[in-house]
Structure 1
Amino acid sequence: MLYVLYAVCVFFSVCSSEAKVKLPANVVVPAVFAFGDSIVDQGNNNNIGTPIKCNFPPYGKDLMDGTPTGRFSNAKTPPDLLAEELGIKGLVPAYLDPNLRDEDLKTGVSFASGGCGYDPLTASSMELFKLGARRIGLMGIPPIGCLPMQRTLLGGIIARGCVEEHNEAAQLANTKMAVAIDLLSKTLPKSKLVFIDIYDLVTDFIVNHKKYGFEEVKKGCCGSGNIEVGMLCNKYSATCEDDTKYLFWDSFHPTEKGYRVLVDQIIKNNMNKIFKTTV
């Protein structure tokens, strides 16, 4: 079993039998599991009594039939894209999805909750994981939770150059997480844990945005792009004409293209380290 953790407060177990990524013949890993905040919340907050939701337009406008699912973007997010690239399934569901089946759990779900660490009602992702683990006999997987304020500041703070101490706090949290992963690895000798810090990668997206195919990185596609997130990005907000030109969908969260470029770079830069293979 392989566990991959990267610094947007996400925990993954990933694999595939028909992956787009070329994996070694002996690699068999069945699922994608995600922990964290809104970056990887696939719709858990839809069913939690918190105002931190996005199960309304224009969120999800480019996903399936345009029905909002609770993903904080215009379409797919990192769990979906990793599962897709690794040939597992096209969409990773939320654990609290009322239509979730036991079969869905076997190939992965998200236990993440948008606003984790801000709103007390969103801090139960580990309890959700324990319930899910019992359903499929996965209690051997070590629970790793959300680190509040640990987004690597994917949104406007980097893009607009505000408050340097927030950037320093994110970098410090990444350093602490790397140490925690090293300690955890020593207690799980039969597992492989890999820490991938995306802080510098996302910063490079912003500084060298044209190299990655982005035209706008200083504001989001929804509304004015400056403060709109969650309820402030709604059906009354204007949206940009072409979200594929934008790194950010709202003031915090990337577009599907932003996430796709991010996942592509993670795979390109780390698959050899993880699987001892090339992509």
Structure 2
Amino acid sequence: MLSAISMTMQRMLHHIYKHGSLSTSGRIPKEKPGAMLHSNMKRFSSSTTLFFLSFVFAILCTSKAVIKIPRNETISAVIMFGDSIVDTGTNNGITTLAKYNFLPYGRDFKGGIPTGRFSNGKVPSDFLDFEQYIGKLKGIVGEERTNFILAKSVAFVVAGSNDIANAYYLSGIRKAKYDELYGVGARRICVLSVPPLGCLPSQRTLVGGSEEECAKEPNQASQVFNDKLSRELGYLNNNLPNAKVVYIDVYNPLLDIITNPKKYGFEVANKGCCGTGSIEASILCNKLTAFTCTDDSKYVLFDSYHPTEKTYQIIVDGILKKYINSFL
């Protein structure tokens, strides 16, 4: 399944790279539906430059949104694969410049201690209240129980933003391979869309958006990608035995927050809280960075790329309320 997602993304990016732009129709070479789904389904590739694995097992329950699950349904685990949006600090021990384990990141987390989360506080994966974390599942519960847990789990995939924002506009395509979700037994898979990248301060600065308007080209790329992704996931949902593959739209919810900030209790949506808010992220956003805001609850975004905890909470609550029944 993930190879299909990644190949859709790579074809789109290759088309943009080759032709220099996207048409308003977002047309890219047509292919037979499902042609990207190979019979082996063993590996997938992605150009995501910040792609971290957060493997979290838990009982699904949010701290704010109350979600009722039918008695005859079981969600044995929540497994999250994703980029910096859901990373809880898993790259702290990796040699990379893309670290966020220093202030002001994490200043609103418990104790005000930075953990590596790419925000001022919690990230989406934190809004699932976990009763239990299991590291080496097979070694504890055995093969049979592991298969049951995987079959009844819900896997969330959050990836693609870096491919458009970083890989296409800055560095070209890079590949990385990971095990297939469906191939190892996952049957309920939720894939999040790419957000309106042109509305992020970093893209407004780099690609040419203004304080009032979002950069058009990155947003257009996001829309084309999301359209192709949605269609491919629909095909997979109809053709993978016993699978529930759900496309989750985060593009429009975040766009609405950014274009109508006061509706959600925000004051600033065109720049981040950290520094000038136009380009600062990672090492450029640190405890010595001047002009960092004192009240990030007024901001949709914490740095030039990542939302604040308050924004994440609004989005996660909306996702659970809208889509919970789709993957039960």
Alpha-carbon distance, 1:208 to partner: 1.8
TM-score by length of 2: 0.62
Structure 1 distance, partners of 2:80, 2:86, is 7
Letter in 2 for 1:248: L
Q: Which amino acid aligns with 1:48?
A: I
Structure 2 segments unaligned to the other structure (5+ residues): 6-50, 141-145, 205-209
Residue 121 of structure 2 is aligned to residue 75 of structure 1: yes
Quote the residue 1:95 is aligned against. none
How large is the RMSD of aligned CA atoms in angstroms?
A: 4.2
- Tell me the distance in 2 between the aligned counterparts of 1:42 and 1:248: 17
1:191 aligns with 2:236: no
1:68-123 deviation line (CA, Å, top 9, x unaligned): 22111011111111x23xxx349x8xxxxxxx833699899999799854489x96
Shift of 1:201: 1.1
Deviation at 1:227, TM superposition (A): 0.9
Once residues 270 and 17 of structure 1 are traced to their aligned partners in structure 2, the CA distance between those partners, rounded to angstroms, is 13
Change (3 A) 1:11 1:231: closer
From 263, 267, 271, the counterpart of 2:324: 271
Say whether 1:101 aligns with 2:135: yes
1:26, 1:187 → 2: CA distance?
A: 25
Cα 1:241/1:45, change in 2 over 3 Å? same
TM-superposed CA distance for 1:39, in Å, is 1.2
Equivalent residue in structure 1 for 2:286, among 229, 234, 259: 234
SS of structure 1 residue aligned to 2:184: coil
Change (3 A) 1:12 1:58: same
Residue 24 of structure 1 corresponds to which residue in structure 2? Answer: 70
- The reply to whether residue 204 of structure 1 matches residue 256 of structure 2 is yes
Q: In terms of Rg, which structure is larger?
A: 2
Task: Percent identity, please.
Answer: 40
Per the TM alignment, residue 36 of structure 1 is displaced from its structure 2 partner at its CA by: 2.6
Alignment of 1:152-191 (within 5 A): 152-153=196-197, 155-156=200-201, 157=203, 160=211, 161-191=213-243
Q: Match of 1:246?
A: 299
Q: Distance in 2 between matches of 1:47 and 1:183?
A: 39
Distance 1:176 1:78, change over 3 A: same
Would you say how many aligned residue pairs link Structure 1 and Structure 2?
247
Q: Structure 1, unaligned stretches of length 5 or more? A: 93-99
The 1:273–1:101 alpha-carbon spacing in structure 2 relative to 1, beyond 3 Å, is: closer
1:174-218 per-position Cα deviation (integer Å, ceiling 9, x unaligned): 111112211221342312121111111111102221121112111
